[in-house]
Chain A
Amino acid sequence: MTLDVAWAIGWVRLSAQTVTEHRQELIELDRQIGDGDHGENLFRGFSAVIAKLDALPAEPADIGEVLKLVATTLMSTVGGAAGPLYGTAYLRAAKATGVAQLDSQGVVALLEAALEGIVARGKATTGEKTMVDAWTPATEAAVAAADGGASPAEVLVAAADAARVGAEATIPLVATKGRASYLGERSAGHLDPGARSTELILRAAAQAAA
């Protein structure tokens, strides 16, 4: 079994749906330790992505083309830190997946490229209470699943499950990168909104492959 461009489009639509459904939750998480705009910004960004997707004259040729459209749209509509971070993630992922079909190792390559993009742009590492704390275990779980012979869909489920654990593990952390770091010790006890949105978007990827 492999994933094709229909999966990529499904992933984008489900991402937009989940970001819309969790908009208030992400705003509230960000309000507690940031400036309360994460849900609004992702909602605005993914709404724009859907509008662009719907306006395309022809269906995109491959997965990379879909991911590039997401990247450029998020970069130009989200703003904040999330725009460049997610934008760079999708752009790197697009470059790693300019093919018609993705097998399990292809899914791993997509996730690894996205994580590399986020780290290159934001210069955060694990344990700093950022989206890297969800992306890193997700990518590691994807590698393990793919090496164990899992299908692309199973690889994405493993990634989403690990992202959830990683996101929840940010709760006790004291932030040392991003806006929550300004709170020092007061950032502990809260779920990082970027890690939570990562979990939602990876869950959408798994659902699109189901």
Chain B
Amino acid sequence: MAAVKKLINDPQTVVAESLEGFGAAHPDVVAIHSDPWFVTRAGGATAGKVGLVSGGGSGHEPLHGGFVGVGMLDAAVPGAMFTSPTPDQIAPALQAADAGAGVLAIVKNYTGDVLNFEMAAEVADDTSVRTVVVNDDVAVEDSLYTAGRRGVAGTVAVEKIAGAAAERGDDLDAVVAVAEKVIANVRSMGVALTACTVPHAGKPSFDLPDDEIEIGIGIHGEPGRRRIPLAGADEITEMLLTPVADDLGLTGGEKVLLFVNGMGGTPASELYVVYRRARALLEERGVEVTRSLVGNYVTSLEMQGASVTVLRLDDELTALWDAPVHTTALRW
């Protein structure tokens, strides 16, 4: 198989060079720290505010660095491609985000992320660190037989809403409670039309025939739960939305945020085709879509595909979602 074309200089330097460019492009929003690598707000932590830190492997941009800024994260820690950051990176980021009111670490449920954040919290024991683990992916059964449901696109909602709670002055207990409330009410499921290629691997993360798709993928190019023939967008959307809505137990009259996320290689036009069908399916259930987000926010490099995320909303979560945010990837 021919090597996949990449717009890079060297697989070993792609993460560092990308961070350098990111910082140079957005000095009004973020500051880049090297040795070890982490991203903070341009102005640093806000005195008296609960700090929010997230992190994970690179290759999911704009997650997480793109969500650093007023109303969302205080710091983000990028690992190598699809590889959790290390404790010696996470610990200084936790400390940088601590402005006296404690820190909330938002961790996606992947074994590596959970273990490295756990070790970092042990190392940085001079700060008051609480951790929430996002596990919105309904493709994985949450059972004794798995490492638990993965954390995927629902992480954006957790970071946005908990960030708004911290920004309005909630204390650490209250911010944790809001984050847990989002986690309890957000579910996602994704599909891949193509695999993606990690720069150092040089070939696709899995082999997928031209006429087949993977249902139930995560965000690291890992294969999904099952492989099926390519179908129309409406049919695929139904396969994603139905388990999400069923798992949430959505009933008529409820209000939700509908988030269609692209995996990096799918055009916005196709994401809106998915959104159209997902919204119709929710409306058929009597569920009212009161907030929406469509775009590439939690990606898997250049993978073609999408995920559908639904967050059950109440007045509090809606108000926090609507609160001002100023990051490179999300702002209103």
Contacts and interface: CB of A to CB of B under 8 A. Distances in A.
A79 B206 contact: no
Taking residues whose C-beta sits less than 8 angstroms from the other chain, chain B's interface range is 35 or more
B321 interface: no
B145 interface: yes
B205 A78 contact: no
B87 interface: yes
A31 interface: yes
Interface string B81-93: 1111111110000
A75 B222 contact: no
B198 A80 contact: no
A181 B146 contact: yes
Interface string B186-221: 000000000000101100011000000000001011
A201 B144 CA distance: 30
Contact of B116 (A40, A84, A181, A186): A84
B140 A182 contact: yes
A64 interface: no
B82 A75 contact: no
A178 interface: yes
A81 B87 contact: no
B220 A83 contact: no
A181 B115 CA distance: 16
A2 interface: no
Contacts of B221: 35-36
Contact of A37 (B83, B111, B116): B83
Contacts of A87: 119
B57, B81, B88, B116 interface centre (most CB from chain A within 10 Å): B116
B87 A179 contact: no
Taking residues whose C-beta sits less than 8 angstroms from the other chain, chain A's interface range is 20 to 34
A88 B122 CA distance: 13
B110 interface: yes
A35, A44, A176 interface centre (most CB from chain B within 10 Å): A35
B112 interface: yes
Interface string A16-32: 00000000000100010
A83 B86 CA distance: 8
Contact of A179 (B36, B147, B201, B225): B147
Nearest to B123: A75
Contacts of A181: 140, 145-147
A37, A40, A41, A81 interface centre (most CB from chain B within 10 Å): A37
Closest 7 CB pairs of A and B: A84-B115, A80-B112, A35-B220, A76-B88, A81-B112, A181-B146, A79-B83
24 contacts: A31-B201, A35-B82, A35-B198, A36-B82, A37-B80, A75-B119, A76-B36, A76-B87, A79-B80, A79-B85, A80-B79, A81-B111, A81-B115, A83-B115, A83-B116, A121-B115, A176-B145, A177-B147, A178-B111, A178-B147, A179-B111, A182-B147, A182-B150, A183-B225
